A and B are shown apart, each in its own frame.
Chain A
Amino acid sequence: MSPTSTQPDLLYSQEEEALRAAVRDLLTDHCDAAGVIARVETDAPHDLALWKMLADGMGLAGLLVPEDRGGQGATHREAAVVLEELGRAVAPVPYLTSAVVATEALLACADAGELVEELASGRGIGVLAVGLHTAPGAAFPAVRLEDGTLHGELTGIADAAVADVLLVPADDGGLYAVEAGAATVVPQTSLDLTRPLARVVLDGAPGRRLGEAGPAVRRALRAGAGLLASEQLGVADWCLTETVRHLKDRKQFNRPVGGFQALKHRLAQLWLEVAGLRAAARAAADALATGVDTDVTVTVAQAHASPVAVRAAEEAVQLHGGIGMTWEHPVHLRLKRAKADSIAHGTAGAHREKLADLVDLRAP
């Protein structure tokens, strides 16, 4: 039975659960923690073989793209389920950046042409050249358009190192497609090892104008922010689950550590917050899919998700004790992802400030 029309559908459908199971199986087989930890210290931290399986093999890069433009014609609800699983595994693949943010930007552009299908099919990886920290609706830098070519430098561009095409805002108000080969992409040493940032330098790079940058970036970042909450849910849920598992196993003072009430209460509290995050993230995905009440719902989800995911990861590190401080144990990858995600697409504070306008609770 479907919920009433005024309420978002906050559940997972059977199809969405089947999609989750398929993605989780793939990640279990091809994205183990030791492999990720080893990979992120190499020159190629992204796992492009895994990306090919997700994008090409399973068709997941095209979920948000209509079928007549080469995609799957699914919605943000399905993409959110994929992001939950990718967040759980902290998989180093450009899903949020290419299949969500860049794809949404292209869908907003009149002259995106074949690029939409290229990204949807997984043949190409696209990245919006706007700093990962940028909140939806916030100002963003643009490069100079001079004599028909692009000049300038942009920093904090997530997954730019594996992009085939960069979507670059220019100072004429347009969004331009730039072949990655025409730009210089310099990796930045990043807090989040599994979603590395890069500096993009354009020195007379040719670009093809796709459309207006303003609306395209706004739409892209709103979808990114809303679905990021599902990734954060995946991270938080992994932290809670693994910490509970560890505390049932770990014995000190001749008892399982998880039997001490001080720890039980902390975990119960965390469970409560993660249950809230699940409802908020589902609401955001549903609102993006239906277009109903989208701005408020996405903003609420982001204002809630960042502190919960960070707390889940911080609790996981603390409650794992010494092992949680080691490079070998995978919990640090979640802490780094959770902390970086708390800045990505706007901090919780930035979203709360935006909410002040949206729901008419104005500052003094």
Chain B
Amino acid sequence: MTDAAELRRRTEEFLAAHPPATTDRLDFLRARFDAGLAWVHFPQGLGGLDAPRSLQAVVDAELEAAGAPDNDPRRIGIGLGMAAPTILQYGTEEQKRRFLRPLWTGEEVWCQLFSEPGAGSDLAALGTRAVRESGGDWVVNGQKVWTSSAHLARWAILIARTDPDVPKHRGITYFVCDMTDPGVEVRPLRQITGEAEFNEVFLTDVRIPDTHRLGEVGDGWRVAQTTLNNERVAIGGMRLPREGGMIGPVARTWRDRPELRTHDLHQRLLTLWVEAEVARLTGERLRQQLVAGQPGPEGAGMKLAFARLNQEISGLEVELRGEEGLLYDDWTMRRPELVDFTGRDAGYRYLRSKGNSIEGGTSEVLLNIVAERVLGLPAEPRTDKDVAWKDLAR
């Protein structure tokens, strides 16, 4: 049994053997993985020690105090948050050994090839085809969209249709796709903000060896649930101080710029301030429930709440700025690696937050999920359940 004291001892030993000040960053990260201190809840030999997930904080605190380099987790969020848990659960021993170490160290960036122009909320209707050749390997053709980091990625997690003759959920298979394959073309997808955080990915006769399949043929929808459940954990889980979210910049502008104030804006600002504070408390309550081991259904609602609040607050902020609200900081097409809500002007926040009610599950779909899974109301009528994918309306 690995406890906090044992982990602290192992971390200290590791730091003594690999002093951060004199160790090359990549060497340090590789050694940390090999010592089982990367993600302690992973198995031994795969960067972990089979320890409780909560004990990772012990290791991180020790390493941070020693000034150790990290693996820049925001840059490789899709690999860490989505690909890794899926590979761990469904990968072969060979796949786990090949992929997890460079994924964690950041040597290999991952992206996610799930959404398509014709398959957004109805992801299971996806049409990218993977056809098996006589040798057992696969040839993939199709188009994916809203892919962040595709232009930086070495690998992708990919779901594709392998059997169009069965109902949509049953004919999908999950693969690891090599982004350096000559059939992969990545084009930036410019958004309403002017920049391109995301890409379109065109797949033309991309070859995938059968050894890069994750899970059974036709079982890809179930495998993808592991990926998607981890996405929902990642979105909406941050801890905020009062005025820590989008309300912060508006409140500061209000205080600093008395000449912008009107009575109407004042009423709306106070209303939104209260709602932002209540949303923050709701998120805090959710975290306290998780810590106490009583997970509540509030999680499903947090993304809904923050999407609406971000949109309303940023809309108010543009209006508050009056003449300056007519301006925009910069329409230059860029490819940022990270979303930065605070480093840009109100107009950017207003436009970017429009995506908050779409990405990671639209607010309309999430309301259905709350109604059905939390309140137990009847599910939507299904007309596609027993219909072969090839016969669906499109």
Q: Which residues of A approach B to under 8 Å, CB–CB?
A: 1, 3, 7-11, 244, 247-248, 255-256, 258-259, 261, 263-265, 267-269, 271-272, 275-280, 282-283, 300, 303-304, 352-353, 355-356, 359-364
Contact = CB atoms under 8 A, between A and B. Distances in A.
Interface of B: 251, 254-255, 258, 261-263, 266-267, 269-271, 273-275, 277-279, 281-282, 284-285, 288-289, 291-292, 294, 298, 301, 304-305, 364, 367-368, 370-372, 374-381
A304 B274 contact: yes
Contacts of B377: 244, 247-248, 256, 258-259, 263-264, 267
Contacts of A353: 270
A275 B282 contact: yes
Nearest to A364: B261
Contact of A272 (B251, B255, B370, B380): B370
A362 B263 CA distance: 10
Contacts of A355: 270, 273-274
A276 to B, nearest CB: 4
A226 to B, nearest CB: 14
Nearest to A363: B266
Contact of B374 (A256, A271, A300, A303): A271
A306 B42 CA distance: 47
Contacts of A267: 371, 375, 377
B281 A280 contact: yes
A244 B254 CA distance: 41
A255 B380 CA distance: 11
Contact of A300 (B269, B277, B376): B277
B309 to A, nearest CB: 11
Given A361-B269, A361-B273, A279 B284 contact: yes
A364 B258 contact: yes
Nearest to A240: B375
A340 to B, nearest CB: 21
A319 B255 CA distance: 43
21 contacts: A3-B291, A10-B285, A11-B294, A244-B377, A256-B377, A259-B378, A263-B377, A264-B367, A265-B368, A275-B298, A275-B301, A276-B281, A279-B284, A282-B285, A283-B281, A300-B278, A303-B274, A355-B270, A356-B266, A360-B255, A363-B263
Given A265-B367, A276-B282, A364-B261, 6 more contacts: A1-B291, A244-B376, A268-B367, A303-B274, A359-B273, A363-B261
A285 to B, nearest CB: 12
Interface of B is mostly: helix
Q: For A7, A9, A282, which residue has the most chain B Cβ atoms within 10 angstroms?
A: A7
A261 B375 CA distance: 13
A1 B368 CA distance: 33
Given A1-B291, A355-B273, A265 B371 contact: yes
Q: For B284, B285, B364, which residue has the most chain A Cβ atoms within 10 angstroms?
A: B285
A304 B270 contact: no
B262 A248 contact: no
Contacts of B379: 259
Contacts of B277: 280, 300
Contacts of A352: 267, 270-271, 274
A213 B370 CA distance: 48
Given A244-B376, A248-B378, A276 B305 contact: yes
Contacts, number: 130
A258 B368 CA distance: 11
A188 to B, nearest CB: 31
A24 B27 CA distance: 62
Nearest 6 interchain pairs by C-beta? A259-B378, A264-B371, A364-B261, A268-B370, A10-B285, A279-B281
Q: For A9, A11, A272, which residue has the most chain B Cβ atoms within 10 angstroms?
A: A272
B274 to A, nearest CB: 4
Contacts of A275: 282, 298, 301
Contact of A279 (B258, B278, B367): B278
Q: For B261, B262, B277, which residue has the most chain A Cβ atoms within 10 angstroms?
A: B277
Contacts of A8: 281, 284
Contact of B372 (A264, A269, A300, A361): A264
A10 B375 contact: no
Given A268-B370, A364-B263, A300 B274 contact: yes
Nearest to B284: A7
Nearest to B378: A259
A310 to B, nearest CB: 15
A141 B365 CA distance: 52
Nearest to B298: A275
Contacts of A247: 377
A1 B292 contact: yes
Contacts of B374: 268, 271
B269 A11 contact: no
Contacts of A11: 285, 288-289, 292, 294
A327 B89 CA distance: 58
B257 to A, nearest CB: 11
A355 B251 CA distance: 13
A268 B371 contact: yes
B368 to A, nearest CB: 6
Contact of B278 (A268, A280, A356, A359): A280
A7 B239 CA distance: 11
A202 to B, nearest CB: 39
Contacts of A303: 270-271, 274
Contacts of B370: 268, 271-272
Contact of A271 (B275, B375, B378): B375
Contacts of A300: 274, 277-278, 281
